[in-house]
Amino acid sequence: MSQVSILGNREQGQDVRSANIMAVQSLSNIVKSSLGPQGLDKMLVDDIGDVTITNDGATILKQLEVQHPAAKVLVELSQIQDREVGDGTTSVVILAAELLKRANELVKNKIHPTSIMSGYRLALRESVKFIQQQLSLSTEQIGTEALINAAKTSMSSKLLGAESDFYADIVVNAMQRVKQVNSLGEVKCPIKAVHILKTHGKSSKESTLVDGYAIEAGRSAQGMPTVVEDAKIACIDFNLNKFRLQMGVQVLVQDPENLEKIRQREMDVTRERVNKIIDAGANVILCSKGIDDFALKYFVERSCIAIRRVKKADLRRIANCTGAKIVVSLADFEGDEKFEPSFLGLATKVYEKRVGDWDYTFIEGMKETRAQTIILRGANDYFLDEIERSIHDSLCVIKRVLESNLLVAGGGAVEVALSIYLDDFARTLGSREQLAIAEFSEALLVIPKTLALNAAKDATDLIAKMRVFHNAAQKADDEQKKELKHSGLDLINGKIRNNLKAGVLEPAMSKIKSLKFATEAAITILRIDDMIRLAPKEEEAPRRV
């Protein structure tokens, strides 16, 4: 029987599984120390010397140049969590790595990977059911402070932790103002409707929330008005420069006097275009390309605000919010040039204001949707970037709370409650999955353990106490003891407390998604038992004649 030869090397069985899990473990160890309110930051320097200082799991993993294929699965996992939930990226990676480590121990003890995978899936299903039925509470049950507390919890592990009261107000107000309810009664909170601008100078406590959309650009000429009430906005995506004939068009001029007429006509074409836009009723013109100085003169004469080189992304968002249409060309189907009044967007007020060293244009009272702008102030770029990441995570958390309306207690409460529940559940099974579910329940404790260790507290002692409380809560009949299910870590005083009353809250959606993603990633990597690395093709040396 002939052996098929493979160009490259091949690893099989336990070797490849151990190598994969070691790679995942080392990635998890990088982000482990950044989890929780006392988590530490990482400084990442790229190949051209740009520095990023952050403790956001998704940002850290995105910046790392990960080579190992199994570790790449974890990096993608953190990106998905960041995209879908916005928060909890670090805990997903830590949990996935712990699940894999424990699965590997079971495999070494002669338990087949298939049994482990089906056990993990069963544990996940039970966990999600338990969170939804037993641990989650609606915002109405918790009270008015629920949103503020959820935002503060999200910020507690970030650079903003000390000023979380101030920023939580900004974040919650911003999201509530852009909240929309559709015809089916579903709540939608578009994150993109909240624009974040960063400006050097002043302290971070002087950041402000503006009711409207702001763009980093001022008027293109000093003679234009600084404020326009009842604005009609034209969004144009073509040059308002001096008109030129296209490449390849030749004009033969016999009489030199006609040359001046051609030049004059080129100027007139641009003037006519400008007048068509203004005659349609536009008094604010946003152009994503250039506007010539001579064309600006016409806007100044008609008391319009014209802004050139507006970013395409900003132009699209303003068009969506004001009901404007982005015009790429004035030509219609007949070949005539015209600008319809229906292309214009409406806003109550457009004005220019100086913030720090830059002029910003603010658009308030947009017709279609309300937009909000958070202007962040701070000492330097690194600080502002990290504040922006923290604010983005908090906005995502508030979006999830407003949309799903369900919260759970934070500080390790959910993980320990699930661990106790799954331990009892595993004992009811008479199959091999029992062992996998028991390991799943142990793996969940890695989150509270890491939280306690990062806060320089005795993790073993605190988790032993928490398990007692949660065990009592699940066995109890009276309401008072059932309250113990919200027991979580108080990492400042090193005690156990009722985190629901203490206001440490997280979206239930965030917990459920992170459990799902971590389990799926662990199963994906556990399934691999053969890795073939293909060798690069060798270039044939040129033959010498």
Between CA 64 and CA 72 the distance in angstroms is: 10
Report how many helices (DSSP H) and strands (DSSP E) the chain contains, helices first.
19, 21
Q: Angle at Cα 88 formed by Cα 86 and Cα 89, nearest 5°?
A: 85
Q: Which of 413, 372, 397 is nearest to 498 (CA)?
A: 413
Q: For residue 209, what is the enclosing H or E element?
A: strand 208-210
Max Cα-Cα span within the chain: 103
Annotation says 47 is catalytic:
no
Q: What is the dihedral of CA 297, 299, 302, 306, to 10 degrees?
A: -150
- Asked if 380 and 200 count as a contact pair (C-beta separation under 8 A), the reply is yes
Catalytic residue among 89, 139, 322, 361: 89
CA atoms of 499 and 147, how far apart (whole Å): 15
Q: Which of 52, 59, 90, 139 is labelled catalytic? A: 90
Write down the catalytic residue from 322, 393, 450, 519: 393
Establish whether 361 is a catalytic residue.
Answer: no
Helix (H, G, I), strand (E, B) or coil at 508: helix
Tokens representing 172? 């919650």
Pair 214, 360: CB distance under 8 Å: yes
Q: Which two tokens stand for residue 162?
A: 């000390």
Per-position DSSP letters for 42-75, written without gaps between them: EEEE-TT--EEEE--HHHHHHHS----HHHHHHH
- Collapsing DSSP to helix, strand or coil, 98 comes out as helix
Q: Where are the beta strands (DSSP E) in 302-415?
A: 305-307, 326-327, 345-355, 358-366, 372-378, 406-409
Q: Which residues pair with 295 in a beta bridge?
A: none
3-state secondary structure string, 382-444?
HHHHHHHHHHHHHHHHHHHHHHHCEEEECCCHHHHHHHHHHHHHHHCCCCCHHHHHHHHHHHH
Pairing between β-strand 284-287 and β-strand 406-409 as defined by DSSP bridges: unpaired
Active site residue 56: yes
What is the 8-class DSSP label of residue 297? H
Q: Is 490 a catalytic residue?
A: no
Q: Annotated active-site positions, please?
A: 56, 89-90, 393
